[in-house]
Amino acid sequence: MPETLYQRLGGYDAVAAVADELLSRLTTDEKLGRFWQNRGDDGVRREKQLLIDFLCASAGGPLHYVGRDMRISHQGMGIDDDDWNLFRGHLEATLDHFAVPTDERSDVLAFIDSTRTDIVN
CA–CA distances in Å: residue 105 to residues 4, 17, 18, 109 = 13, 15, 12, 6
Amino acid in position 10: G
Q: What would the DSSP string read from start to end of 64-86?
A: ---S--HHHHHTTS---HHHHHH
CA distance 33 to 38: 10
Q: Which domain holds residue 105?
A: 5-119
Q: E strands within the chain?
A: none
Q: Is the pLDDT of residue 2 over 90?
A: no
- The CATH number of whichever domain residue 82 belongs to comes to 1.10.490.10
Burial of residue 108, with CB atoms counted within 10 A of its CB: 0-12 exposed, 13-18 middle, 19 or more buried: buried
- In tens, the pLDDT along 17-39 reads 999 999 999 999 999 999 999 88
User: 60-105, pLDDT tens digit by residue?
Assistant: 999 999 999 999 999 999 999 999 999 999 999 999 999 999 999 9
Round to whole Å and give the CA distance between 85 and 88.
Answer: 5
Q: Which pTM does this prediction carry?
A: 0.92
Instruction: Count the domains in the chain.
Output: 1
